Structure 1
């Protein structure tokens, strides 16, 4: 299994033929096959060249790549006890394999020889980039270390893989373990009828009388937004905030401390000041000082506005209760009511205009207008769960472009959040352009017997965000897989996703897909005006919240130098400069901060704001020429979406925009220049 091409449409994964009990043996076989590829490079007696070393390494271990993509995607979206146990076993094996390659002295000498003896003009620009990245990868993964240091690096990487996996498993376990049962319907006053019906359906599925609410976002968010009973909001809010922060086997405090310590030790071993310094060397931001300067520049503009917004919210809340002091479980509730007063906008009133299938069709339609691609559902292609749909994507000339898997609803085996991933990369070899298999995964409420799945406006922008990532993957057009699609600097990867959100605010786009699910009525103009007017509602508070996570990330991965005596006090100290609400003693954000502890954003959380600068600036070009202007779309596709990591991202951006991005574009759009 996985060692040979699949006899399936577009070589898609035959999920039904995979025996989950045999995943470990699949990995053993694929690791052996990958090492055989590597050994051939090592044993080759010819003078090292780009072809017999760099290209050979690039296309080695393809079966292992596909297996890993399949397995770890399942571990995120459709996990089980069997998969989780296997993950704990195979992760150290993969870490060992990676180190066996990176720390092999003969292999490194071959790579080094090619790097030092190949003239730039003998390679294409993409080949030169691949050579540089391959050489740096060896150096940054310990090739220059002594034997004893290499051995310690191996130990660190194996330990890190285990701690990161456990971190994620603990959050999932805590999330699945919690439910709030309410038997008295009166206590749910304010909750929209659809959310009430979904809670009742869930209770019936569980054989419980009443209503059941969980920490899954589609259940949790309507609860804290609309339920008038403050004690109930407090109960579920505190439950959400103490995931993996309780005195039980799923506590993540030690995992945080171990991950931080090991990352710092690894960075120091490699000659870097900190983990952040190590990571940021390969980012647009370049170093921790640049990141801090960037975050503080926005902080200086946003904090004063955030404080004013918080005071306004406090005054508004006290209109109904003069003694009320805002707590975290009040914020979303009163913010929604204030937004309704200021902008005559109500998320529940908007939802009928955003049925999930229409929103997805809207993303399809906009992509067709901008990039000339079409989407056709194919229910004969296998999927890993019945909720998943699979689409074939085609270019205008009818050629196959990509597969797109969509997976939109929460379930027990699926982690929270929303993300884009791939089951297969894109590359070119032997005159063939092997196309990618992309997946977007979200957690939106399912429909009921009477209504389809309806999205809030925020969920609509989430779908567009992930679809933007998917476009980056689907439209990839590079020779080498490690430079393809989203294989770009981490503080550039959010540009394609965040820019695509902008179309959700534009009348010309909204009128193509925002239509009432029952009547077909196009979303009224006054709703669109309200959406636009509310776009910057509490933008100061939202910005400061995002900045607080960026500051926390840098504190863990640079400032603390690998030592965190106690997680909660450490976090509280960092959050002090951005805090608006009183602290909740029972809660700790760090222990469920998946982005930086078992995701790809360690020392990179700032990149969301960094990419907002890029997307605000770039979308200005679309608006100048027309948001559905095909020629601008083609330029964005050709200069950014298709190029992957073949060119430095600043050069890609300048090729599209004709200049470097302006921070003022973000500050102006967010209303932070006043």
Structure 2
């Protein structure tokens, strides 16, 4: 979620002085350079619809005014303007100061930020052939622009001069953080390298950006192509009538009337595997999921091999022992060995759990009179049976209480009102990029605070997963309030049926809204320090923290109402959900740790050695080294469709989900011990970390909230990894292992 200082995959503006707020009407003029010599640099004038701030409410993007074919020209013009603005700063004849260098950089790139923020969301959430081709053309140009900024020797000389004089300067804490992070970013991106190394670095970065775009598109294609078709309705036994109707409708849309289409998910695991009674269909669906993107036009293997080789070469240019060492320079956990150790310490206990759970599931198979051996496509099916028997829990029954609109408006929004004083008003006057998208004005204690977009449903034009992004970054310098969006991939309803969410969908909705709140409550002078512009292993903390409120009884009773009867979810079902949350950890936590360590295996390679040429062979060897039962519980993402680390910026960073899970469980234990979901607690959350962006160190923000350093025990308790009176959920010796 963290973005580069001067540009972003979502929305970045520029940097600024900590004293004044810029008037909106002056935002499109070049940065004023208040120095002794008169200086009037020539900046090209923008001509696109993004030349000026949008006239819509809170400057929301005018999606209805842009044809797909126009995007390339719009972005290329914005790149040219950004480069001209940066060159003007670099060539300023006046001595470098914080204002005429750092602040001027923060003011630069506003046309690019507006345009690229809107375009990036379309690429991710409503792609077509024209947009895909445009993205592939633009990706290396954006990378080249980034390098032209950070490898500009005159610009870096000015930044370094200000940085070297910092002890003699009077700065606010946010000024000081801006200066430090900007200088570090220049060094990280090669400002201290020699000319030959910088030339090679530019070539590597351009190629990597092009490969990232191609990999992203192939992963989406591979997911769509992996869908399976079933021609016998009886083979779908176990699915609900609504699911079967949706499968029939999807097949008909694909031109196969009379059949049923089952889609694979963004992750290795497919939800229907827990329901399908027919073992052959389960196996077919599982293999379609796990083997995608390995052959044909959607194969990512040669692209991934090249990415790894290029990342290793870049690490070598910087003299780093691995790509992970280069990548993790600004993290809360900056040492790859520490991240690996944090997760590896859990492996023995997790493997023991997987072995015990597998034995329980094998016994359950035999109880049904079968003589086959547990296979990965059986795990979730029989785990679901054991869960139902032990905890009286039926996932399909649970879904009936989670109507998507109710979860959002009566659950997520209610939580935000009780904790933070936020209220929401749906708008119908803001154009969107797809009919599924809803838009809301966000009020804080009655005052307009932000604009929020919500895009819930899966479609072929949307990449998998869920995410938050910004169309407009908050900045006091630029006088801008946040415009943020949440995107999910909830299964769309069949015609005439209600849109129902799984419990995972519900917690994801609270999770992504936690990211949104991180943007909504941004209160920074400088856009590059605003809101979610933080390290990978911090940005997931506010989002995971807010998952906890999905299960607060007061919140549940508001949104969890049966779609037919309106009955509030029974407390015994809520209690079963809570008990079952510690069930099946060998699978649910094991697949995450396996994926996290697989990421580190790829990015801890010695850059002086050739990169692996056989991607799948390396993955198999890496999983063997990791030591979990990946034959039964595969990683959450296998290498060919591991979008997080090959396209989405989480390379050497997927561990962040587990690291921040530790932070959020510990932080929520503080909430539970200090009054729970109250407005006083909400103000404390905002004042200590949620509204702080990157204006402070991450360690300081956590200590400001809890009064201490983070503890791992609440994570172990929440995951059921501290032994309990349950012979399936506990992990022998877990407490001593970690």
TM category, shorter: over 0.9
Partner of 1:69: 117
Shift of 1:306: 2.6
Partner of 2:708: 659
Q: 1:164 aligns with which of 207, 212, 217?
A: 212
Would you say 1:14 and 2:76 are equivalent positions? no
Would you say 1:460 and 2:506 are equivalent positions? yes
Comparing 627-636 and 202-211, the one that deviates more: 202-211
Partner of 2:37: none
Would you say 1:372 and 2:391 are equivalent positions? no
Partner of 1:543: 589
Partner of 1:614: 663
TM-superposition CA deviations, 1:309-350 (whole Å, max 9, x none) = 222122212222442211121112111111101100001111
Q: 2:229 aligns with which of 178, 181, 184?
A: 181
Cα distance in structure 2, aligned partners of 1:53 and 1:584: 52
Partner of 1:109: 157
1:214–1:220 contact (8 Å) kept in structure 2: no
TM-superposition CA deviations, 1:194-232 (whole Å, max 9, x none) = 101111222333441132222246998453221111111
Would you say 1:643 and 2:692 are equivalent positions? yes
Cα distance in structure 1, aligned partners of 2:352 and 2:269: 30
Q: 1:444 aligns with which of 463, 466, 490?
A: 490
Partner of 2:290: 241
TM-superposition CA deviations, 1:222-269 (whole Å, max 9, x none) = 5322111111111121111111112x1221111111111111111221
1:385 is paired with a residue whose SS is: coil
Shift of 1:178: 3.7
Runs (4+) of structure 1 moved beyond 4 Å? 216-220
Would you say 1:289 and 2:343 are equivalent positions? no
Would you say 1:386 and 2:435 are equivalent positions? yes
Partner of 1:227: 276
- Structure 1-normalised TM-score? 0.96
2:400 is paired with a residue whose SS is: helix
Q: 1:671 aligns with which of 715, 720, 736?
A: 720
Cα distance in structure 2, aligned partners of 1:449 and 1:219: 28
TM-superposition CA deviations, 1:99-149 (whole Å, max 9, x none) = 111111111100000000123760110110100111111111111111111
2:489 is paired with a residue whose SS is: coil
TM-superposition CA deviations, 1:412-455 (whole Å, max 9, x none) = 2111111111111111126x3x1111111111122234431011
Partner of 2:306: 258
Cα distance in structure 1, aligned partners of 2:702 and 2:168: 23
Shift of 1:505: 2.4
Would you say 1:474 and 2:474 are equivalent positions? no
**Shift in alpha-carbon separation, 1:218–1:34, aligned structure 2, 3 A:** closer
Partner of 2:639: 590
**Shift in alpha-carbon separation, 1:542–1:179, aligned structure 2, 3 A:** closer
Q: 2:167 aligns with which of 103, 107, 119?
A: 119
Partner of 1:555: 601
Partner of 1:568: 616
Partner of 2:578: 532
Shift of 1:583: 7.1
Comparing 71-80 and 312-321, the one that deviates more: 312-321
TM-superposition CA deviations, 1:470-511 (whole Å, max 9, x none) = 111111111111111111111011111111111222222211
1:230–1:330 contact (8 Å) kept in structure 2: yes
Match runs of 1:145-544 below 5 Å: 145-207=193-255, 208-216=257-265, 221-246=270-295, 248-361=296-409, 362-396=411-445, 398-429=446-477, 432=479, 434-544=480-590
In the alignment, structure 2 segments of 5+ residues that lack a partner are 1-47, 724-738
2:207 is paired with a residue whose SS is: helix
Shift of 1:298: 2.4
1:406 is paired with a residue whose SS is: strand
Shift of 1:653: 0.5
2:438–2:454 contact (8 Å) kept in structure 1: yes
2:590–2:633 contact (8 Å) kept in structure 1: no
Cα distance in structure 2, aligned partners of 1:118 and 1:193: 67
Partner of 2:673: 624
1:326–1:581 contact (8 Å) kept in structure 2: no
TM-superposition CA deviations, 1:134-192 (whole Å, max 9, x none) = 11111111111111111000000001001111111111112223432222111111111
Shift of 1:11: 0.8
Would you say 1:134 and 2:182 are equivalent positions? yes
2:471–2:484 contact (8 Å) kept in structure 1: yes
1:218–1:445 contact (8 Å) kept in structure 2: no
2:150–2:190 contact (8 Å) kept in structure 1: yes
Cα distance in structure 2, aligned partners of 1:325 and 1:496: 42
**Shift in alpha-carbon separation, 1:271–1:590, aligned structure 2, 3 A:** same
Comparing 266-275 and 334-343, the one that deviates more: 266-275
Shift of 1:388: 0.4
Cα distance in structure 2, aligned partners of 1:521 and 1:105: 66
1:191–1:222 contact (8 Å) kept in structure 2: no
Partner of 2:87: 39
1:182–1:211 contact (8 Å) kept in structure 2: yes
1:41–1:53 contact (8 Å) kept in structure 2: yes
Q: RMSD of the alignment, in Å?
A: 1.9
Shift of 1:302: 2.7
Q: 1:27 aligns with which of 72, 75, 81?
A: 75
Paired residues, number: 669
1:540–1:672 contact (8 Å) kept in structure 2: no
Cα distance in structure 1, aligned partners of 2:238 and 2:121: 38
Shift of 1:63: 0.9
Partner of 2:6: none
**Shift in alpha-carbon separation, 1:354–1:572, aligned structure 2, 3 A:** same
- Structure 2-normalised TM-score? 0.88
2:229 is paired with a residue whose SS is: strand
2:351–2:628 contact (8 Å) kept in structure 1: no
Cα distance in structure 1, aligned partners of 2:216 and 2:662: 30
Cα distance in structure 2, aligned partners of 1:281 and 1:35: 26
Cα distance in structure 1, aligned partners of 2:200 and 2:157: 21
2:476 is paired with a residue whose SS is: strand
Partner of 2:23: none
**Shift in alpha-carbon separation, 1:635–1:570, aligned structure 2, 3 A:** same
Partner of 2:135: 87
